[in-house]
Structures are given as C-alpha cells and as structure tokens.
Amino acid sequence: MVKCSCGKRAIIYVKVKGKYMCEDCFLRYFERTALNTIRRHKLIDKRDKIAVGVSGGKDSLALLYFLNEHFDNEIFGIFINEGIKGYREITSKDLRKYCKRFGVECYEFSFKEEIGMTLDEMVKRGRLKPCSYCGVFRRYLLNKKARGLGATKLAMAHNLDDEAQTILMNLFTNDVKRFMRLGYMTGIKTHPKFVPRIKPFRLLYEKEVLVYGLLKGIRVTYIQCPYAEQAYRVRIAHVLWKLERKYPLLKYNVVKVFDPKLRELKERAKDEELRECKICGEVTNRDICKACEFKRELKIPIS
Amino acid sequence: MRVLREWDKRQIEVKIKGRRMIRRVLEEMGINPEEYVIIKNKRIVGEWEEVKDSDELVIIPVVSGG
Ligand SMILES: [Zn+2]
Ligand SMILES: [Zn+2]
C-alpha cells in the first residue's frame, strides 16, 4: 500500500509537491494552495462582492463551494446560457441542484434574451467557429452582468491545465494581445466598467480540482459541449495530456516559466487605453467592441 | 471485473487473473490514466493500486464540459 507521509492510504500523487497524499492531507494541500494564491496576489479584499462565473461543470462548482466555505464576502453565481441544445439543459440542472445545496444565489442570463440569438442559431448563420461567438459573448455578458449586480470581482474557475493551454494557443498563433487574459488577476488596468477577473485555482491541476470536488460530494453529469471537437483548445489539450504523461509537471512548468514574461507584457500594455464601445458603451480596447462587431456580422439588430 | 465508463455510462467486463495494477489494466484498454480519476469500490484510488476480478471500477474523465 502506498502511504501518505501521515501514514494513511494515499489516494493521489501531487506532482507539484512530489508527494503521495491521503484524502485529508490532499484537501489541506488543495485549499492551502488556493488560499495562498489569493493572498499572495491580493485577489480578494474584505469588501469585495464576488461573482463566480458558473457553468454547472465540476470546476466552477468546486470554486463556488470553496469560496463560499472560506470567505465571508457576499458571493453569488452568474450562469450564462449560450443556447446549446442537448447540453446546457443538463448542466444547468446540476448547477441549480448544487447552488441550492450550498445555499448560494445564482443568476441566469441567456444569449437568446441578452444578445438576441442562441449560439446554435449563430453557428448556422455566421462564418466563424462556435467558440469564437461563445467566448466573446460570454465574456461580454459576464462582465456586464457582474457589474450590474454590484460585483467588484469576477471569479473564474480556470485551472492550471486551462492556463497552460491558453499560453500555448497564444504562443502558436503569435497573439500577444490575448496574453492579457492570462495571470492570476486580469483587468488591473482599471476601467470603472471592467470587473477584475480572478483565478484562485490557477496553480491547481484540473485533476486535483476534480478530486477535490468529488471529495466534497460534487459529482456532476458527465457531458461534453457538442462544439468542443471543433475547438483549437481541445486539440492543444489532447497534446498536453500526452506530453504530461511523459514529462510530469510539464503544464506546471509552462505556466511558471511564463509568469515573468507575462508581467512584462502586461506592463507594456498598460499604456493601451481602455474605452467605451461607441455602440453599446461596454468596455473595450477598440472603437467598437467585439460583441457589437459580431452582432453586425450575424445581422442581429443593435438596440 | 466490472468497469463503468462515466462518460458514456457503458459497463465493460475485464477479466482479471489474480491481482493487477490499475495503471496496466487501463493502459491495455487504451486509456491514459493521467486523464482519469479512478474509483474502486466507491473510493478514489491511485493508479498504482491493485485490482482483482471481484472489484468494481468507475473511471471519470478529468476533462468535461467546455
Ligand atoms: Zn495524510
Ligand atoms: Zn459594443
């Protein structure tokens, strides 16, 4: 039997620590890592009102649970229903069940009502990949709604795997602008209309997040977004899984080696001005925001 | 041994002679243990643990949603 250093049966090997851990020691390690991330990067202030971007998936539910357990701040979920048939109905059911269990309020908004079209309809009508529309409109609505509900921070459940994928995607496409979305907190370059995004799970492997959730009784329906196979991200993820098997800690190293570079890039981008979209008034770094541009392409009347 | 695949809810029978390490069993099924959390007889276990024919495994993919 492989044992934890405390003598109990190990259930997981924690690569970052090079240790086999039992349930209790793992839970302590997990929560400590997230709390240290929050403290070290000053992600949460006592006065913050925290919106958590939730999808009904295991990661965001684990984050909602964790924050609600450890902080006295006002915390609520924001769920964006993109309108993906056969997928969102299921995850939203899981979401409601767990929000009720945790005693956390969750606000729901849909593409259909807020943008004027479901993602399924956009995919039929537009030229771009589903993830392009989904990403832009979801980010747009999360920020707008978080602000509308009075949130001062928007917590996202991005984990180490997500972050490593994003770094490589941006690297491979030479997309420096997108590097701004990386890091523990984005939107430091404050604009009153931008709610800073925080990522408390940034240094935790996705597998660790799943195990944490399972140990806390979070077991959601397994379902994959039907558009995932078309996503560049998913292809990168497949490669990373294979590499990580051969070279343990590879994802961690990708994220860590990039941190100093990230600071430099963010510093350089500070001069770039954030402003309000001439059409909708939401915050953007261009004249017309990406959401309004996409609406135009999709021929959605702009109100 | 009964193996339940969480992603499609399919049950698979795998013959185990004596005791075998979970890691080997999964690799033979073409599954990268890195990408899954394994539940043996209702408890989370490491891929280094052994199984026998009367055990029951559930394998949960780490990646889901999107
Ligand atoms: Zn222990
Ligand atoms: Zn706009």
Within a domain: residue B46?
A: yes
**For position A188, what pLDDT does the model report?**
55
Within a domain: residue B66?
A: no
Mean pLDDT in residue range A31-57? 97
Q: Which of A252, A91, A76 is nearest to A155 (CA)?
A: A76
Structural domain including B29 reads: 2-61
**For position A267, what pLDDT does the model report?**
75
Least confident of A1-10, A105-114, A127-136, A227-236: A227-236
Of A10, A57, A241, the CB nearest to B64: A57
Boundaries of every domain in chain A: 45-273
* pLDDT single digits (tens) A280-293: 999 998 899 999 99
Helix or strand holding residue A67 (H, E): helix A58-70
**For position A170, what pLDDT does the model report?**
86
Of A12, A214, A245, the CB nearest to B46: A12
Complex ipTM tops 0.95: yes
Residues A231, B61: C-beta atoms closer than 8 Å: no
Rounded Cα gap, residues A97 and A102, in angstroms: 9
* pLDDT single digits (tens) A188-246: 567 889 999 999 999 999 999 999 999 999 999 998 899 988 788 889 999 999 999 99
Chain B interface, best mutation among A3, A8, A11, by max B CB count within 10 A: A11
**For position B55, what pLDDT does the model report?**
97
**Is the alpha carbon torsion for B33, A207, A90, A291 positive or negative?**
negative
Residues 6 or more apart whose CB falls under 8 angstroms from that of A46 comprise: A72, A73
Residues 6 or more apart whose CB falls under 8 angstroms from that of A171 comprise: none
Residue B26, both tokens: 């999964």
* Pairing verdict, β A74-81 and A106-110: parallel
In this prediction, residue A171 has a pLDDT band, given cuts at 50, 70 and 90, of: confident
Q: How many domains would you assign to chain B?
A: 1
* Res. A60: pLDDT tops 90: yes
Q: Which ligand is nearest to the CA of A9?
A: 1
Q: Which residue of B has its CA nearest to A12?
A: B46
Which CATH number is correct for A45-273, 2.20.25.90, 3.30.365.10, 3.40.50.620, 1.20.20.10?
A: 3.40.50.620
Q: Higher-confidence residue: A255 or A267?
A: A255
* pLDDT single digits (tens) A3-23: 999 999 999 999 999 999 999
* Res. A128: pLDDT tops 90: yes
* Res. B10: pLDDT tops 80: yes
Residues 6 or more apart whose CB falls under 8 angstroms from that of A88 comprise: A56, A81, A82
Least confident of A89-93, A124-128, A140-144, A269-273: A269-273
Give phi and psi for A205, each to the nearest 5.
-65, 150
Contacts of A58 in chain B (CB under 8 A): 64-65
* Res. A37: pLDDT tops 80: yes
Mean pLDDT in residue range A125-134? 95
Indicate the average pLDDT of chain A: 93
**For position A293, what pLDDT does the model report?**
96
**For position A264, what pLDDT does the model report?**
81
The CATH number assigned to the domain holding B53 equals 3.10.20.30
Judged on CB neighbours under 10 Å (0-12, 13-18, 19+), A212 is buried
